[in-house]
Amino acid sequence: MTNSISKISEKTYYCPSCKQAMRRIEGKMGPFWGCSDFPKCKTTRNDADGKPSEKVDEHYRCPICTRRMVKADKEKGDYWYCSGFAKGCKVTLADHNGMPELAHRCKSCGFLLVKRKGKNGVFWGCSTYPKCTASYPNINHRPDY
């Protein structure tokens, strides 16, 4: 007896950490897979022949250009920088338990926001200041849009 199971061409791949569907993203360094629950879940996989690779992608992606984030040398401090640095992407993210801190983007220009301390306490300002002067109040460690 033969069991014929029809092949589904559009296979869905699930995130190994949260079981949501993964989606294929065309990154600047080539395609990769990211969890559809991003930014809540930051699981990514390398692309292997159109499928998410089984191997864990230990690299984190730049929130601006999707290149890999690189951990800075211990002596320099606990932060991550974008591997596109030489190409003009100046994104750096603080280290948070061995992972780059969640990035927040400016609603007006799309670049990263940085936490700043002002006269009236902490707020989020655009990293391209003074080009972009957008700023957002700080609510629960995140910008209040």
* Structure-token pair, residue 118: 């002002």
> Given the complex with Zn ion, which of 67 and 104 has the nearer CB atom?
67
Q: In angstroms, rounded to a whole number, what is the distance separating the alpha carbons of residues 145 and 138?
A: 9
Q: Which of 34, 45, 52, 62 binds Zn ion (CB under 5 A)?
A: 62
41 binds Zn ion, rule: CB under 5 A: yes
Task: Give me 39's structure tokens.
Answer: 């930014």
Q: Does 69 bind Zn ion (CB under 5 A)?
A: no
Return all residues near 106 (Cβ < 8 A) that are at least 6 apart: 112, 113, 126, 127, 128, 132, 134
Asked if residue 84 binds Zn ion (CB under 5 A), the reply is yes
Report the alpha-carbon distance of residue 24 to residue 45 in Å, rounded: 9
Nearer to Zn ion, 82 or 93 (CB): 82
Residues in contact with Zn ion by the rule CB under 5 A: 15, 17-18, 20, 35, 37, 41, 43, 62, 64-65, 67, 82, 84, 89, 91, 106, 108-109, 126, 132, 134
